[in-house]
Structure 1
Amino acid sequence: MSKVKYYYDSETLSYRKIERKKRTTLKYASMFILAAALFGFLFVFIASQFIESPKERELKRELSNLELQYKLINKRLDDAFAALENVEERDNSIYRLYFEANPIPNEQRRAGFGGINRYKKFEGYDNSALVVESNKRIDQLQKAIVVQSRSLDEIAVLAKDKEKFLEAIPAIQPVNNEELTRMASGYGYRTDPFTKVRKFHFGMDFTAPRGTPVYASGDGIVKRADNSATGYGKHIRIDHGYGYMSLYAHLNKYKVRANQKVKRGDLIGYVGSTGRSEAPHLHYEIFKDGERINPINFYYGNLSAIEYENMLKKALLENQSLD
């Protein structure tokens, strides 16, 4: 039972019962509720500024871990770029240089991406700069790796072609030194053995006994093996590709036929004295792009430095040729 409250009325000199109006009660109740709500809001606001919830602490730890991971990723990207730069340096200064390919400029290796902003989706966050930079570096690394991969593919093709080129070049002496009587005449002006007139001799003459083996000086395809060319007698022509052709003249007989593939060092015929020849010997010529050039520059495949020097001295002597 609620307590009844009275007040003293001085005019009537008596106690009167206090009557509380409902409107006043509602007013006080509303003020109390409003004050409580305001106090609660202030408490929550102050607590949120100074006191972390378990969920906030968990999210903060995750954010710190993500920042650390991005920093570690950037460190690994530094290492990857350093390793790639080492490969790129060797690619430009060794591999591409050796195979006569133009170096790839750094601007091409590190070119960016034009057009739309590829990283817009990462913007607007506390760590946007870190995320954007990391993604940019990853894209640059991927592009640089693609450029380097294509370069190595190109080098592989060039290397394969270079290997074929080196095998095709007429690079050995067509008659073994042990079977030579002498190196009779070199490339240049010589005395014609029949007319005794000084004229240009376009090959080298190797004196050897009749029947001495003659070898292909490089890989190629036999274009001719006949005696229908004036002055050469029985002769062989081998097309080595890359503009090179070798000719072997005054043979006694052949061991190959036209359109046959031969490898460097294969037996192709034997020394003779057919055609316009004074004595058994091999007349040897090399053509480059249809022009006859000095064969003295093409014996690095089977002569030592001393043997080559001796041959060079003999080849420079202006003596009489044998054809």
Structure 2
Amino acid sequence: MSKVKYYYDSETLSYRKIERKKRTTVKYIALFLMASALFGFFFVILASQFIESPKERELKRELQNMALQYDILNQRMEDAFAALENVEERDNAIYRLYFEANPIPEEQRRAGFGGINRYKKFEGFDNSKLIGESNKRLDILEKAIVVQSKSLDEIKILAADKEKFLQAIPAIQPVNNENLTRMASGYGYRTDPFTKVRKFHYGMDFTAPRGTPIYASGDGVVTRADNSASGYGKHIRIDHGYGYVSLYAHLYKYNVRKNQRVKRGDLIGYVGSTGRSEAPHLHYEVFKDGERINPINFYYGNLSAKEYERLLQKASLENQSLD
């Protein structure tokens, strides 16, 4: 119950009850409500600066979790870059070097993306820098993986070509050691058996009984199997590709025909003494880009180190050739 207030009336010398007008009451109520509203408004504003709502706390946790996930993503990208760098190092220092391919420069592997700012959409947020940098590094990583993948595709092709090349090189002795009587003459100046004049001997002479098997020294295609070349008698020429050609002369008979494809070690003919020959033997030559080269450099395919050393010593002797 509200208190009743009085005032002293000096004219009547008595206390009189104070009567509050309704207008005044409404005014006080309006002022109270306005003050309360203003207080509530400022309280909400101040509270919002210092007190988090459940929704704000949830959003803050989501942002913190997102930042954590980006940190984890960056660490995983670091690990991926480290693994990729290991592959790139082997690619440049081993694979591409072995297959005689130019190394891929670092700026090509780690090239960014020019032109428009593709990361502008990440600007204007609390973690814009983190998000933008993470996406940029991810793009560089993806591009580096594509470059490395293409490089490995190239290495695969080069490896296949290298294997084909290694099989094509005339790399074995065309007559087995057990079938040889001796290695009669090597590459270099020798005495002609007919004129007794010192002249250059462009092949190697392997003496063996008539009918001794002769083997292809590398993969290739038979381009000639005839006796129409002066001095060679019955002879065979094999084109190995890559500029290599091998020649087998003074044969007794052939075991191949022109345009036939042969593999290293295939039986192609037999030792004889046809043409300009003093005794049964195989005259063997190797050409590279049309020039005769020393066949002694190509016997790594079927000779041991000691056998090769003995052959090298015999081939270096300046004696009389058999053709």
Separation (CA, whole Å) in 1 of partners of 2:229 and 2:12:
162
Separation (CA, whole Å) in 2 of partners of 1:228 and 1:310:
35
Structure 1 unaligned segments of length 5 or more: list them: none
Separation (CA, whole Å) in 2 of partners of 1:3 and 1:255:
138
Instruction: Give the CA deviation at 1:87.
Output: 0.8
Separation (CA, whole Å) in 2 of partners of 1:157 and 1:189:
42
Aligned residue in 1 for 2:158: 158
Separation (CA, whole Å) in 2 of partners of 1:166 and 1:137:
42
Separation (CA, whole Å) in 2 of partners of 1:292 and 1:30:
118
Q: Deviations for 1:138-165, whole angstroms, at most 9, x for unmatched residues? A: 1111111111111111110000000000
Q: Note the 1:27-46 alignment, pairs <5 A.
A: 27-46=27-46
Instruction: Give the CA deviation at 1:38.
Output: 0.6
Give the number of aligned pairs.
Answer: 323
Moved more, 30-39 or 107-116: 30-39
Aligned residue in 2 for 1:232: 232
Q: Over the residues paired in the alignment, what is the CA RMSD in angstroms?
A: 2.0
Paired residue type of 2:171: A
Aligned residue in 2 for 1:131: 131
Instruction: Give the CA deviation at 1:47.
Output: 2.2
Q: Deviations for 1:232-273, whole angstroms, at most 9, x for unmatched residues? A: 000000000000000000000000000000000000000000
Q: Note the 1:101-250 alignment, pairs <5 A.
A: 101-250=101-250
Q: Secondary structure at the match of 1:252?
A: strand
Paired residue type of 1:264: R
Instruction: Give the CA deviation at 1:22.
Output: 6.1
Separation (CA, whole Å) in 1 of partners of 2:246 and 2:321:
19
Structure 2 unaligned segments of length 5 or more: list them: none
Separation (CA, whole Å) in 1 of partners of 2:72 and 2:278:
83
Moved more, 105-114 or 257-266: 105-114
Moved more, 105-114 or 234-243: 105-114
Paired residue type of 2:302: N
What is the TM-score normalised by the length of structure 1?
0.94
Separation (CA, whole Å) in 1 of partners of 2:23 and 2:166:
112
Identity of aligned residues (%): 84
Separation (CA, whole Å) in 2 of partners of 1:4 and 1:187:
141
Paired residue type of 2:179: E
Aligned residue in 2 for 1:275: 275
Cα gap change, 1:25 to 1:310, in 2 (>3 Å): same
Paired residue type of 1:94: I
Q: Secondary structure at the match of 1:284?
A: strand
Instruction: Give the CA deviation at 1:50.
Output: 2.6
Aligned residue in 2 for 1:308: 308
Moved more, 216-225 or 132-141: 132-141
